[in-house]
A and B are shown apart, each in its own frame.
Chain A
Amino acid sequence: MTEVFLNNKYVGKVTNGKEFVSSLLAQRRGNKLPSSVSMYYNEGVDQVFLETCSGRVIRPLVVIKNGKTLLTEAQVEKLEKGELKWQDLVSQGIIEYLDTNEEESALVALRESDITQDHTHLEISPIDIFGLTSSLVPFGNYNQGVRLTQGSKNQKQAVGFYAANFYSRMDMDVNLLHYPQKPIVTTITNQLLRMDEHPTGQNVVVAIMSYQGYNMQDAIVINKGSIDRGFGRSTYFRPVISEELRYSGGLSDEVGVPDKDVKGYRTEHDYRFLEDDGMIYPEAVVAEGDVIIGKTSPPRFLSSLEEYNLAQTSRRESSMALKHGEHGVVDQVLLTESEEGNKLVQVRLREQRIPEIGDKFTSRHGQKGVISLIVPEADIPFTSGGIKPDILFSPHGIPSRMTVSHLIELLSGKVGALSGRYVDGTTFEGEQEEDLRAELLRMGFRENGTETLYNGITGGQYNAKIYIGNMYYIKLKHMVANKIHSRARGPIQLLTRQPTEGRAKEGGLRLGEMEKDTFVAHGASLLLKERFDSDKTEVPICEGCGLVAIHDARKNSYFCPTCGENVEISNIEMSYAFKLLLDEFKSLTLFPKLKLISQITKKPSTEAGAPAAEQKAGLEE
């Protein structure tokens, strides 16, 4: 007796599990059971598992019977003519879906030529063993597996033409490629995903050669002329959003040009783009600090006195302005309602991004790199036919990575461009390299894809033949404009008085623990102190009790909160963070007593009169 489980729940027993499953299978292939039902007989434990749940991964395979596929040539022809549909094949039991369990009982042939009597199924295409993105890599069968994953990962970060209705969408923080192109070297997945309708890159001429060492270490050298003609240009859309929030007591934010008496009022100049409704107008060219959406908020704390006096005077300014380093053109202003029914203003800023040094590009084979030099078109090497490459790619990127597909794409791209056709580069099933070479030879080129190139600067002929051809290049969303950052002085944190962190806050670059060690190891003691001077303060210390004293700047007098006025007080230089640590000790009811010793007399401070700056602090807890 075989136990039967339906969706992992025990439902009953049958006499023969194997027969039971094969009869069910016949029913599914005869379209009497839904195609999504999976069945699996586990011989080892003598149990039958039936699955009907949603959420299982199922994949289609061609059924093999007695060593022959059920899919006939005639049916394939009909499919091509459109007389037969996929669903027909499924309902006829020619193609069936297996889940992970049922795959255990199947022996799948990768190609039709591999089929033996034992096989139960055939892959629809050998490319099925790849995922969607990794099958986008042309000639992937020539590559190491890792490079396929890397190539497909890169493609996910592409700047492309993501939606045709982008203009009426309020997508934020997106990039849009100008003049996107279909790849000359395509894969079948490209068509299946309809990538031709939303491409991600452009076809360019690539020469594999070095250029004055500027394309070392994965960097690419790019032709200025190509950029001027529009290569790699994109638009970046940046969001500015503001919502009229409601607060307790019937108060709420208000979008509008703030009055001058509002708390935190910026300058009149900052509000110059705002129209009467408090919103910016489209096509305004804005830069850092300009207000995009004017807004005021009610006061944070309502004291009892002010409740009777709810004038505009106490309102806070809470406009949305462009942060440090941001700029752009207002593209679209949208007035709408949020989920809670509040007034919501969304502004979309547009910014044209022309490729610059530091922008990241990649081919489809995990060969990514950043622009290191933009060369004037006149200085770019040229072929005898006058072709100038758009990109100069370093040959050193090839041997260690073994991305043969990169080289083959270059060759087939050349063939495609010269003969005016698209080349099929589907993994396992694409056009053959020999055929492409022969075609290139027929068109009057050297069959290995190399050409004689001439130095753009001197006009001299290069001794080596340069491998040159067409490739599909992709601009990635990592652009320097979003990342570049430097700081000499700038904002500090309120609590520690140390520099803020991160590019958005114009922060400093941390000199960390290990960097500190380098100074110490060199014995550069005073340089070390200087590097950590960012939160340097002078703190008055009472010599009686060793606590921080108070300086009354108006009277220019010092007094100690515990010892009173007639005490000796010395100014000690220390980091503000340490002063904060002392305060935290005090809040823990510890007594961090600073014992001051004069560095000149080496006597404790009870002998008053040592110059303040030359005292050394001792800490007692």
Chain B
Amino acid sequence: MMRAELKQFVGTLPMRILEDLDSELPEKISDAKFKKIMSTVAVEYRSSLAEPGECVGLVTAESIGEPGTQMTLNTFHFAGVSEMNVTTGLPRLIEILDGRVEISTKMMEIYLKKPYCDGQDIRQIAERFKETRLKEYIREINIDIAETKMHILLDTEALKERKISAALIGKILAKGLKGFDVKIDKESGLLIKASGDDALGLIYKLKEKIKEVHIDGIKGITQVLPVKRGNEYVIVTAGSNMKEILKSEFVDTKRVTTNSIAEIESIFGIEAAREAIIKEMLKVLKDQGISIDLRHVLLVSDAMTMSGKVLGVSRYGIVKEKPSVLARASFETPIRHVINAAMVGETDSLNSVIENVMINQPVPLGTGLPGLVTKVADKKKSKK
């Protein structure tokens, strides 16, 4: 509980600062000293606030953009290290800010429940997550042209390792392949027969397609890597499928993460997406050794998520939401914006910076923001 003297400052100073003061100030303190401290804190706090009329958006843009020019364009490769190749640096930053749904390297960090996080069965659990396709269980494919049949010889050892029965594969294939006759042969083989006019053509096309049929594991997870983080084991994956991973009994659902912001948005909602954007951006910036004030990152992520869905900083995202026709047209594809505005008869109230630069009026920022409120004595007199 906060001490009584500090309570009067609730509202003028943020709670964080008051709490810090409460814990840092000595129990017994003279009134004069307390007053002096509080006034200094108040001055310091006020001077660190953004001033009214300060152009925070532009300062943010420049503050991220300028160090961005120093970032190495190439993604960093950790050759030989037991980590996976992840897109970092400028390409990753662009990816995040564009609000892309399909990112170039999806990744998950799967935290596990006790006792699995201590390393129990860690390899088996990890392997269970990894998706496998039919081609990993095949030893040979033979096509019988005369009978338009395909004979698939299964790799029994691979099946044993993953504890998959040939019957299961047969079941999956029978379900997935419509119009084909699937049978399980005794010598751990599959017989697939095509029928119809173009049976031979179908079977040939199927030969390549069938190799990619998903058999086991979680779709989208292409690689798994158990890693020790601190004193617990974590599974790092290439590829991401949050929805399915969450269903697993081994997973600590509170801490499992992915670097796909779109996935987080669809499962946990917009606030989580905002946090993810911040986290991912800071990760990139930290990797590159660039220090950007946190508030710039916060502002960008707020701007990207304030509409309720993640919007990229691009002409399809944030810029599209700008109220001013002229501001939109001055960014990219001016013709489209002008035509659309003309069709609906849009009004531009000239409230922002670019429009006012265009028509050569003071921009409503800084010294251009305040107005004068006064009484006009006589309308007719003022006409002169």
Interface residues of A (CB under 8 A from B): 516-517, 520-526, 528-529, 532-533, 535-536, 573-575, 577-578, 581, 585, 588, 590-591, 595, 599-601, 609, 611, 616-621
In contact, A573 and B367 (Cβ under 8 angstroms): no
Across-interface contacts of A617 in B (CB, < 8 A): 350, 359, 361
Give, as a whole number of angstroms, the nearest-CB distance from A582 to chain B.
10
Known contacts being A617-B350, A618-B350, is A521 close to B342, with CB within 8 Å? no
In contact, B360 and A525 (Cβ under 8 angstroms): no
Give, as a whole number of angstroms, the nearest-CB distance from B219 to chain A.
46
> Counting CB contacts under 8 A, is B306 at the interface?
no
Known contacts being A520-B55, A532-B357, A574-B359, is A525 close to B345, with CB within 8 Å? no
In contact, B360 and A532 (Cβ under 8 angstroms): yes
What 0/1 pattern do residues 321 to 347 of B give for CB contact below 8 A with A?
A: 000011000000000001001100111
Report the nearest B residue to A600, measured CB to CB.
B376
Across-interface contacts of B380 in A (CB, < 8 A): 609
**Within the assembled complex, what's the spacing in Å between the Cα atoms of A526 and B347?**
25
In contact, A611 and B383 (Cβ under 8 angstroms): yes
Known contacts being A532-B357, A609-B383, is A619 close to B367, with CB within 8 Å? no
In contact, B55 and A528 (Cβ under 8 angstroms): no
In contact, B347 and A525 (Cβ under 8 angstroms): no
> Counting CB contacts under 8 A, is B43 at the interface?
no
Across-interface contacts of B364 in A (CB, < 8 A): 525
Contacting residue for A525 out of B326, B346, B362, CB 8 A: B362
> Counting CB contacts under 8 A, is B348 at the interface?
yes
**Within the assembled complex, what's the spacing in Å between the Cα atoms of A533 and B357?**
10
Residue with the greatest number of chain A CB neighbours at <10 A, chosen from B51, B55, B359: B359
In contact, B358 and A520 (Cβ under 8 angstroms): no
Residue with the greatest number of chain A CB neighbours at <10 A, chosen from B350, B365, B369: B365
In contact, A600 and B382 (Cβ under 8 angstroms): yes
Report the nearest A residue to B358, measured CB to CB.
A578
**Within the assembled complex, what's the spacing in Å between the Cα atoms of A617 and B360?**
11
Known contacts being A574-B361, A590-B342, A609-B383, is A525 close to B367, with CB within 8 Å? yes
Report the nearest A residue to B59, measured CB to CB.
A521
Across-interface contacts of A574 in B (CB, < 8 A): 359-361
Across-interface contacts of B59 in A (CB, < 8 A): 521
In contact, B349 and A618 (Cβ under 8 angstroms): yes
Contacting residue for B345 out of A573, A618, A621, CB 8 A: A621
Contacting residue for B350 out of A521, A611, A616, CB 8 A: A616
Interface residues of B (CB under 8 A from A): 51, 53-55, 58-59, 62, 325-326, 338, 341-342, 345-350, 353, 357-369, 371, 376, 379-380, 382-383
Give, as a whole number of angstroms, the nearest-CB distance from B149 to chain A.
42
User: Can you report 29 residue pairs joining A to B where beta carbons are below 8 Å apart?
Assistant: A517-B58, A520-B363, A520-B365, A523-B51, A523-B366, A523-B367, A523-B369, A525-B362, A525-B363, A525-B365, A525-B369, A526-B367, A528-B357, A528-B368, A533-B360, A535-B360, A574-B361, A578-B360, A590-B338, A609-B380, A611-B383, A617-B359, A617-B361, A618-B349, A618-B350, A619-B350, A620-B345, A620-B348, A621-B341
Report the nearest A residue to B54, measured CB to CB.
A523
Count, A-B residue pairs, CB within 8 A: 105
In contact, B367 and A524 (Cβ under 8 angstroms): yes
Give, as a whole number of angstroms, the nearest-CB distance from B100 to chain A.
26
In contact, A522 and B366 (Cβ under 8 angstroms): yes
Give, as a whole number of angstroms, the nearest-CB distance from A575 to chain B.
4
Residue with the greatest number of chain B CB neighbours at <10 A, chosen from A524, A577, A619: A619
Across-interface contacts of A526 in B (CB, < 8 A): 362, 367-368
**Within the assembled complex, what's the spacing in Å between the Cα atoms of A617 and B362?**
12
In the complex, the 10 A-B pairs of residues with the closest C-beta atoms, listed nearest first: A523-B366, A525-B368, A575-B360, A619-B348, A578-B359, A590-B342, A525-B362, A525-B367, A620-B347, A574-B359
**Within the assembled complex, what's the spacing in Å between the Cα atoms of A619 and B323?**
13
Across-interface contacts of A575 in B (CB, < 8 A): 358-360
In contact, A621 and B359 (Cβ under 8 angstroms): no
Report the nearest B residue to A599, measured CB to CB.
B371
In contact, A525 and B366 (Cβ under 8 angstroms): yes
In contact, B360 and A536 (Cβ under 8 angstroms): yes
**Within the assembled complex, what's the spacing in Å between the Cα atoms of A595 and B326?**
15
**Within the assembled complex, what's the spacing in Å between the Cα atoms of A83 and B345?**
93
Contacting residue for A611 out of B338, B347, B366, B382, CB 8 A: B382
**Within the assembled complex, what's the spacing in Å between the Cα atoms of A1 and B58?**
74
Residue with the greatest number of chain A CB neighbours at <10 A, chosen from B58, B360, B379: B360
Across-interface contacts of A525 in B (CB, < 8 A): 362-369
**Within the assembled complex, what's the spacing in Å between the Cα atoms of A535 and B358?**
11
Give, as a whole number of angstroms, the nearest-CB distance from A533 to chain B.
7
Across-interface contacts of B341 in A (CB, < 8 A): 621
Across-interface contacts of B342 in A (CB, < 8 A): 585, 590-591, 621
**Within the assembled complex, what's the spacing in Å between the Cα atoms of A595 and B350?**
11
In contact, A529 and B348 (Cβ under 8 angstroms): no
**Within the assembled complex, what's the spacing in Å between the Cα atoms of A578 and B329?**
13
In contact, B353 and A520 (Cβ under 8 angstroms): yes
Across-interface contacts of B383 in A (CB, < 8 A): 609, 611
In contact, B363 and A528 (Cβ under 8 angstroms): yes
Known contacts being A522-B366, A618-B347, is A516 close to B338, with CB within 8 Å? no
Additional 15 contacts, C-beta under 8 A, given A516-B357, A521-B59, A590-B338? A520-B365, A521-B55, A523-B53, A523-B54, A523-B55, A523-B369, A525-B365, A573-B360, A573-B361, A574-B359, A585-B342, A588-B338, A591-B342, A609-B383, A617-B350
**Within the assembled complex, what's the spacing in Å between the Cα atoms of A524 and B357?**
12
Known contacts being A590-B338, A590-B342, is A521 close to B347, with CB within 8 Å? no
Contacting residue for B62 out of A521, A523, A595, CB 8 A: A521
In contact, A618 and B360 (Cβ under 8 angstroms): no
In contact, B357 and A619 (Cβ under 8 angstroms): no
**Within the assembled complex, what's the spacing in Å between the Cα atoms of A520 and B60?**
12
**Within the assembled complex, what's the spacing in Å between the Cα atoms of A526 and B348?**
22
Residue with the greatest number of chain B CB neighbours at <10 A, chosen from A521, A525, A601: A525
Across-interface contacts of B58 in A (CB, < 8 A): 517, 520-521
**Within the assembled complex, what's the spacing in Å between the Cα atoms of A5 and B383?**
95
**Within the assembled complex, what's the spacing in Å between the Cα atoms of A372 and B275?**
55
**Within the assembled complex, what's the spacing in Å between the Cα atoms of A577 and B359?**
8
In contact, B361 and A529 (Cβ under 8 angstroms): yes
**Within the assembled complex, what's the spacing in Å between the Cα atoms of A525 and B352?**
12
Across-interface contacts of B347 in A (CB, < 8 A): 595, 618-620
Across-interface contacts of A581 in B (CB, < 8 A): 358
Contacting residue for B366 out of A524, A609, A620, CB 8 A: A524
Across-interface contacts of A529 in B (CB, < 8 A): 360-363, 368
Report the nearest A residue to B363, measured CB to CB.
A525
Report the nearest B residue to A590, measured CB to CB.
B342
**Within the assembled complex, what's the spacing in Å between the Cα atoms of A590 and B343?**
9
Give, as a whole number of angstroms, the nearest-CB distance from A601 to chain B.
7
**Within the assembled complex, what's the spacing in Å between the Cα atoms of A536 and B359?**
9
**Within the assembled complex, what's the spacing in Å between the Cα atoms of A404 and B325?**
61
**Within the assembled complex, what's the spacing in Å between the Cα atoms of A532 and B348?**
21
In contact, B363 and A618 (Cβ under 8 angstroms): no
Give, as a whole number of angstroms, the nearest-CB distance from A576 to chain B.
9
**Within the assembled complex, what's the spacing in Å between the Cα atoms of A453 and B383?**
80
Known contacts being A525-B367, A533-B360, is A517 close to B54, with CB within 8 Å? no
**Within the assembled complex, what's the spacing in Å between the Cα atoms of A522 and B360?**
18
Across-interface contacts of B326 in A (CB, < 8 A): 619
Across-interface contacts of A619 in B (CB, < 8 A): 325-326, 347-348, 350
**Within the assembled complex, what's the spacing in Å between the Cα atoms of A352 and B360?**
46
Across-interface contacts of A591 in B (CB, < 8 A): 342
Across-interface contacts of B353 in A (CB, < 8 A): 520
Report the nearest A residue to B384, measured CB to CB.
A611
Across-interface contacts of B345 in A (CB, < 8 A): 620-621
Across-interface contacts of B367 in A (CB, < 8 A): 523-526
**Within the assembled complex, what's the spacing in Å between the Cα atoms of A616 and B359?**
11
Report the nearest B residue to A574, measured CB to CB.
B359
Report the nearest A residue to B340, measured CB to CB.
A621
Across-interface contacts of B382 in A (CB, < 8 A): 600, 611
Report the nearest A residue to B62, measured CB to CB.
A517
**Within the assembled complex, what's the spacing in Å between the Cα atoms of A521 and B353?**
11
Contacting residue for A601 out of B357, B363, B376, CB 8 A: B376
Give, as a whole number of angstroms, the nearest-CB distance from B190 to chain A.
44
